[in-house]
Structure 1
Amino acid sequence: MTVEGTCADEFAEVRAEFERNFAERGELGAGVHVTVDGETVVDLWGGDAGGRPWTEDTITHVWSCTKGATALCAHVLASRGELDLDAPVVRYWPEFGEHGKADTLVRHLLAHQAGLTAVREPVPPGGMLDWELMTGLLARQEPFWAPGTRHGYHALTFGHLIGEVVRRVSGMALAEFFEKEVSGPLGLDFWLTLPDDLEPLAAPTVPADRGEALPSVYVTGLSRPESMQGLLLGNTGGYVTASNTREAHAAQFGAVGGMSNARGLAQLYRPLALGGEYNGVRLMDEAQLPVMSGVAVAGFDEMLLAPTRFSLGFMKSAGNPHLPAVERGASMSEDAFGHSGMGGSLGFADPGARMSFGYAMTKMGSGLGLNARGQSLVDAVYRALGYRQAPDGTWFR
C-alpha cells in the first residue's frame, strides 16, 4: 500500500505512524492533514476507498466531527452579536419551551446540558433525516433531567438543536449557512448536504471488527432498550444502517451527517488556530475563541457513562489513561478544542501551537472517539512541535 502526498521533514514521524496504521493497526483507507502557522506541513492519504484507491479528493462520512462545524456556525453568529449564548432558547425558538424547557439556555444546548440526549417518541424509518419532524419532536419533548443541572452527550440530537437556533437567527438552513459563511469562503472539502455530483468521491464507512470491546454506553444500551442509551441505539429510524446511502449523504444532519476528509477537517479549524482569520477570511473576532475553547462542563457524562470534558460545542482533551481504552477521549493540549467522530475521525484547532489537525478514515474502530490510529498521529504531531505529555495524557510545552 502506497502512501501519497507531502510531509515536511520535521513531521516525518507522522508519516511513519500513518504508514504503521495500515501495516499494523488495520487501516483500510484514510488521510491526515496538519497545518502550522497556516501552512500545510502534512497532507497524506492512501489505501482503499470502497474498491478504488483513496485519492487526494476522496471524502467520507466523518460522523460527530460534524458537530464542530455546526457549533462553529453558532459561534459565528455569536461573534456578530446576532446570537446571545446566555439567552433562553425560546427567545429564538418559542416552540422549544414545552415540558420545563423554558429556561434552557443556548449554552446548555452547546454544552450537552439540555437533557435531550435521545428521542423519546418512536422515530419512523428515515425520520432522523426529516428536519421538521426532528425539531418538532425535540421541541415538545420532556428532558431527561432539568436543563443545566447535568451534562450528557447529545450524540444524534445536537445538530437539530443547534441547527434550528442557527436557522431561526440567520433565516438560513444550517447547511446553507455553513456553505455561505464558512465552507464556501474557506474553500473547504466539507459538506453538510453533499451535492449529487460529488457522490462518486464518497468512500463508504466500514464497520469496526466484531469482538472488539464495547464502551459502557453500548453495553447499557444493548441490555436496557428503555434507557437513554437504549433509545440512542435503537430509536434512530434506521439511520446508522443507512448512513452509506445517497439519501443520507444528501440530508441535513448537523450532529453526525457531515462529509469531508482530513484536509477539510484541518482547514475548518485553521482560522481558529490563528485568531479567527485565515487568508483574509475572518470567521469571528478573536475574543470569541476563549468562549469556544474554555471548559464549560467536565465530569461524569450521563449518556456516555464515562468522564467527558466539553467547551461550548467542542470536545476538550480527555485522555483518561486510567480508564480502559474504549472509554478514553482524545489526548490533546489544554489549548486545543475540536471534535472526534464515531470510529475515530478527528478535527481540532490548537491556538497555543497555531496548529490545526484533521484525520478521516473508512474503517471504524472501537471506543468513544479517537482510537490508536488517530491518537498515534496526534501524538506524533505534538512531539514534532516539541511538546511533552503529562500523566493524564495532556500535551504541554
Structure 2
Amino acid sequence: MMQQSGSTVQGTVAEGFEAVREEFAAIVAAERPDYVGQLSAYAAGRRVVDLWAGPDTDGETLYGVYSSTKGAAHLVVALLVQDGTLELDREVAHYWPEFAAEGKGSVTLRELLAHRAGVIGADDGFTAEELADDRVIAERLAGQRPFWRPGTAFGYHALVIGALTGEVVRRTTGRSLQEMYEERIRAPYGLDFFLGLPKEHEGRFRSVLPMDPTPEQQAVFAAFQGGPHTVASIAFNRQGAEPTDIETLPNARVVRAKGPASVGGVASARGLAGMYAAATTGADGLPPLLKPDTVAAFGQIHSIGYDVVARSHKSFALGFQATADTWYPFLGAGAIGHSGAGGSQGFADPRSGLAYGYTRRRYAFPGGAAPENERLAKAVHTAALAS
C-alpha cells in the first residue's frame, strides 16, 4: 500500500491503483471547501483503495447511506433464496397471508423484488416514527390497494421495499431482516455497515448536510415531486400530514437506531465496499456469501424502461439496481449494487472481481449516486482490470 501525504486526501491505495487516488484528489480539489467524502474498493477480495478527505472524518467515520441500505437488505433475501428458505416464484401471500388484500394475492416475491407490486406507499402517508419502523410500514401496506395493476409496470418503492421484503423474511424465519443481517453478514465480516446503529457507535456518525441547491436546481426538484397526490409524492411520503424531508432522514436517532431496511443504513465507504466483496468474492480471507449462480440470478435485469415513480428510464435486478445499465455501462453484465439519495454508491462487478463503496456528507443534487461516482468507479474499474 502507498500512503497519500498531505491533509486534503488521506488513506492508502495498492500498487496499480495510484490513478484512483489522483482522480479522487482532482474531485476533492474541484468541490466546495467543506467537501467530505470516502472511497473504498476491493479487488479479488483484497482492499485496494481506502481514501477519505474533508474535515472531521477518517476511514472509520459513519454516514447515512439512504437507499444503499437496500443492497444490504436484499443480500439477506438472496441468502435465504440460496438456502432454499424462500422461493422467488412463490406468492408473497404464501409467506404473509395478509398481503393478499386488495388484489395483491398473485404478487410473487420475484415481482416484489423487481419493484412491480405497485405498493409504493400509503394513501394517507406515514408519520416520521412510522417510517422508521418496518413492522408498522408492513402492517399498514398489507391492506393497501396497489397504485398500478401488479406486474403491468414498475416503479421505485423508495421508502417501503425493505419493509415489505423484510416482512417476508420475518414471517419465514421468525427473525427480523435487521437481525438476520447482523448475524449472517455484518458481524461475521466485521463490516462498518449497520442496519440499526448501536449507541456505542453514535460518536462515529456525522449528520447529513443539506444539498444547498441553486434556484434552478430547486425548481427541477420541486417539479419532480409534483402535487401532493402524485405517484412520486406518495412513493416519497410527501402527501401526508408529516411530509418526509429525505435530506435529513438519517439525522434522526430513531432512524439510525431502528435501521429501516429501505433507507436507514449507516455505513462508511469501507463498509459498503466490504459488504459487496463479502457477497461476491469474499473479503479479507473469508469466503463469499453467495454462490455464482445466486449472484447471476439476483443480477439479472427484471424491470427496465419507464419507471412510473421516477418518470424516467430505470432498470432493476432483484432487490438491487442493475448497476451497469442504471449508472455505469463500463461494468460487466450482472453487476449488482444500489445508490443512496445522499450520493452514496456501492456495487459489485463479479466479472472483474471488483467491489466499490463511496460516501459523502453533503446531500448531492438531485439525489441518487453523486455525479463524481462515474469518474471514480471508472478509475477503479480500469485499475482493477489492469491489475
Report the TM-score, using the length of structure 1 for normalisation: 0.88
Which residue, out of 290, 307, 311, partners 1:305? Answer: 311
Q: CA deviation at 1:272?
A: 3.3
Kept in 1: contact 2:321–2:336 (CA 8 A): yes
Q: How does 1:44-193 map to 2 (within 5 A)?
A: 44-48=51-55, 53-193=56-196
Which residue number corresponds to residue 347 of structure 2?
Answer: 348
Deviates more, 1:360-369 or 1:260-269: 360-369
What one-letter code is carried by the residue in structure 2 that aligns with 1:263? R
Residues 49-100 of structure 1, C-alpha deviations (whole Å, 9 max, x = no match): xxxx202210100010000001111110000000001100011111111000
Query: How much does 1:282 deviate?
Result: 4.5
Deviation at 1:29, TM superposition (A): 1.2
Shift in Å, 1:239? 5.8
2:323 is equivalent to residue 317 of structure 1: yes
On the 8 A contact 1:216/1:304 being kept in 2, the answer is: no
Shift of 1:278: 6.8
| 8 Å Cα contact 2:296-2:334 kept in structure 1 | no
1:324-339 to structure 2, matched below 5 A, reads 329-333=327-331, 334-339=333-338
> Match of 1:284?
290
User: What's the counterpart of residue 22 of structure 2?
Assistant: 16
Task: Provide the rounded CA distance (Å) in 2 between the counterparts of 1:97 and 1:341.
Answer: 30
| Equivalent pair of 1:217/1:303 in contact (CA under 8 Å) | no
Percent identity between matched residues is 34
* Structure 1 residues 133-184: Cα deviation after superposition (integer angstroms, max 9, x where no partner): 2111110000011111111111101111111111111111111110001111
1:395 maps to none
- Paired with 1:296 and 1:305, the residues of 2 have a C-alpha distance of 18
The alpha carbon displacement at 1:110 in A equals: 0.7
**Retained in 1: the 8 A contact 2:67–2:262?**
yes
Q: Which runs of 5+ in 2 are unaligned?
A: 1-6
Question: Aligned partners of 2:154, 2:110: CA distance in 1, in Å?
Answer: 12
Kindly indicate whether the alpha-carbon contact (under 8 Å) linking 1:116 and 1:143 is maintained by their aligned counterparts in 2.
Answer: yes
Q: Distance in 2 between matches of 1:64 and 1:384?
A: 27
Q: Measured at CA, do residues 121 and 176 of structure 1 come closer, stay the same or move farther in structure 2, by a change above 3 Å?
A: same
User: For 1:253, which of 243, 249, 260 is the aligned residue?
Assistant: 260
Q: Distance in 2 between matches of 1:337 and 1:11?
A: 22
Q: Report the Cα distance in structure 1 between the residues aligned to 2:159 and 2:330, rounded to whole angstroms.
A: 24
The answer to whether the Cα contact below 8 Å between 2:121 and 2:160 also exists between their aligned partners in 1 is yes
Normalization by structure 2: what TM-score? 0.90
Counterpart CA distance in 2 for 1:291 and 1:373 is: 29
Residue 49 (structure 2) aligns with: 42
Deviation at 1:367, TM superposition (A): 3.2
What is the root-mean-square deviation in Å for CA atoms of aligned residues? 2.1
User: Contact 2:138–2:164 at 8 Å: present in 1 too?
Assistant: yes
Q: 2: CA distance between counterparts of 1:40 and 1:372?
A: 23
The corresponding residue for 1:378 is: 377
Query: How far apart, in 2, do the equivalents of 1:303 and 1:194 lie?
Result: 30
C-alpha offsets along residues 332-384 of structure 1, whole Å, 9 cap, x if unaligned? 51232100101221000011001100001111211352232222110111222
Distance in 2 of aligned mates of 1:166 and 1:39: 31
| Structure 1 pair 379–73 and aligned structure 2 pair: CA distance change class (3 A) | same
> Offset at 1:309?
1.0
Contact 2:37 2:52 in 1 (8 A): yes
**What's the CA shift for 1:126?**
1.9
The question of whether the paired residues in 1 share the 8 Å contact of 2:193 and 2:266 is answered with yes
The answer for the alignment partner of 2:10 in structure 1 is 4
Tell me the secondary structure at the aligned position of residue 150 of structure 2: coil
Task: Tell me the secondary structure at the aligned position of residue 297 of structure 2.
Answer: helix
Residue matched to 2:271: 264
Alpha-carbon distance in 1 for matches of 2:292, 2:323: 21
SS of structure 1 residue aligned to 2:140: helix
**Helix, strand or coil at the partner of 1:64:** helix
Unaligned 5+ segments in structure 1 are 320-327, 388-397
CA distance in 1, matches of 2:219, 2:162: 23
**How many residues are matched?**
373
1:33 to 12, 37, 40: 40
Task: Report the equivalent of 1:213.
Answer: 217
